[in-house]
Structure 1
Amino acid sequence: MPPLTDLHARLDKALEITETASRISLTHFNGALEIVTKADASPVTIADQETERSIRDALQKAYPDDGLFGEEYGIEGLGKETVWVVDPIDGTRSFIAGVPLFGMLLAMTQGQKPLLGICRLPALGQVYAAARGMGATRNGTSIAVSDCRTIDDAMLFINEGEKIYADVPAVFARLMQAGRLRRLSYDCQPHALLAEGKIDAVVDYDLKPYDFLAMVPIIEEAGGVITDWQGMPLHFQSEGRVVSAATPELHAELIALLN
């Protein structure tokens, strides 16, 4: 792991870069957008493309020896020791519909391990950030997960519920009976809410590395647990089934329920 002084400087730089890029997405939010459907049937807009280009250009200028992995413009130097992972608009469908819960995600990995993460919610004026050994913050104030230890007591958010229902209906049925309260949800904001202790668990599905790697340092530095559905650490090759929880005890119950 790099020295904390270097990691702190990189976190500050990443916050600066993503703040600048968030103004681009906000300029397009609620405006007229041309929407293109990608090969995987997901939508993309000029806002996604311009926002990622802003982040990539700034990272390449600041750290020319690092690799990049972005949703819209692909991979450059994935084999390098340090790789930045970019999702310019996490929740393009929400963005298109005028729902202000879309996010922006940026992670920095070394040896494929996420060391730094930023989750911005531009329309809400919120930014969650963390780096290894430095804790997690929301708008600069320290945050921590709840102390919920059982599913029966948990406020559970289920992301991509219709996909879970279609692909693994038995799991969906169990989830719909779990928790003290449950909500169907999408994208990165539920994981951010977990990191600051407002909810207790999130089950997510069909994600790409740029959808989850930034949340790993944020949730873990806030004291929580985030893994795949088998309880294994998340990395570039993870299949995209993700579960985050406030405590190890709650996480273990969720892993048992999912399997």
Structure 2
Amino acid sequence: MSVVELGRFMDDLAEASGRAILPFFRTQVGLDDKARGGAPFDPVTEADRAAEVVLRSLIRQTFPAHGILGEEFGAERLEAECVWVLDPIDGTRAFIAGLPTWGTLIGLTRNGTAVRGLMHQPYLGERFSGDGRSARLRNAAGERTLHTRPCADLGTAILATTDPRLFTEDEEAERFRAVEGTVRMSRYGADCYAYCMLAAGQIDLVVEAGLKPYDIVALIPIVEGAGGVVTAWDGGPATEGGRIVAAGDPRLHAQALRLLNG
């Protein structure tokens, strides 16, 4: 399959998952707690499951030799050269609350490296995509290339994180506060949208912890394609999730790493 055909297939995945999800949005959607009453609350909806079923079916039909890792239905053939990494609704809490800061994440790895990524927000009609070399946004206004913005200093940066309570260890929370106490402004609750806004030059820095591969793999080629940097806090690859820092400017990324590593 050519690069163009692969892009079209990913668009097909986005469209199909959007059709599965939208009938549930801003309704009294069925809800379960994967934490089974424990902490933290870990919601999953009928929409999450319906979308992942559709995504897996299309991938199996088109690429039967590929592996799949999805949030709702686990892993299959992870030893394959190419593995699809899926989060049908990243931002389920926002989805439940009727807020449009959620998206479908569709990532593709080759030999463990994230090579293609797409974030689709069907309610707003926005689609962010990247291949590590370039990144684009498609919406009702058309299509445009994404570029991160220069920001060399934490003191002028806008920081985002999904929830400061992600930092469950005392050390994690202390290191995050060290970064947050230095930036110009911080915002919470954007989930995958924070990374896409970083790629679009609206946000400068994203710091998170406790992520799974399906929370980040699709976003890596988008941020990197727009000129940004995404790593673990120790500077290593971000593909396995965990503690993640993304920056639009490599100089800012270096500053954040210094604080996050004490």
Q: TM-score range by the shorter chain?
A: over 0.9
> Which residue pairs with 2:252 in the alignment?
250
Q: Deviations for 1:74-112, whole angstroms, at most 9, x for unmatched residues? A: 111000000000000001111111111111100011001
Shift of 1:184: 2.1
Distance 1:43 1:36 in 2: 6
Aligned length: 252
Residue 173 of structure 1 pairs with residue 177 of structure 2 = yes
CA contact (8 A) 1:7 1:131 kept: no
Distance 1:121 1:169 in 2: 30
Distance 1:103 1:197 in 2: 19
Counterpart of 1:235 in structure 2: which amino acid? T
Distance 2:146 2:239 in 1: 24
TM-score calculated relative to the size of structure 2: 0.91
Q: Deviations for 1:4-51, whole angstroms, at most 9, x for unmatched residues? A: x72332122111211221122111001111111114741111100000
SS in 2 for 1:124: coil
CA contact (8 A) 1:146 1:246 kept: yes
> Which residue pairs with 1:205 in the alignment?
209
Shift of 1:235: 2.3
Counterpart of 2:51 in structure 1: which amino acid? T
CA contact (8 A) 2:179 2:256 kept: no
> Which residue pairs with 1:160 in the alignment?
163
Counterpart of 2:45 in structure 1: which amino acid? T
> Which residue pairs with 1:137 in the alignment?
136
TM-score calculated relative to the size of structure 1: 0.92
Q: Deviations for 1:117-155, whole angstroms, at most 9, x for unmatched residues? A: 00112222111001244x100003111100111111111
Distance 1:104 1:118 in 2: 8
SS in 2 for 1:206: strand
CA contact (8 A) 2:152 2:251 kept: yes
Between the aligned residues of both structures, percent identity stands at: 35
Alignment of 1:32-111 (within 5 A): 32-39=28-35, 41-111=41-111
Distance 1:166 1:109 in 2: 30
Distance 2:243 2:8 in 1: 30
Alignment of 1:180-219 (within 5 A): 180-219=184-223
CA RMSD of aligned residues (A): 1.6
Distance 1:159 1:256 in 2: 21
Structure 1 runs of 4+ with >3 Å offset? none
Alignment of 1:118-129 (within 5 A): 118-129=118-129
SS in 2 for 1:205: strand
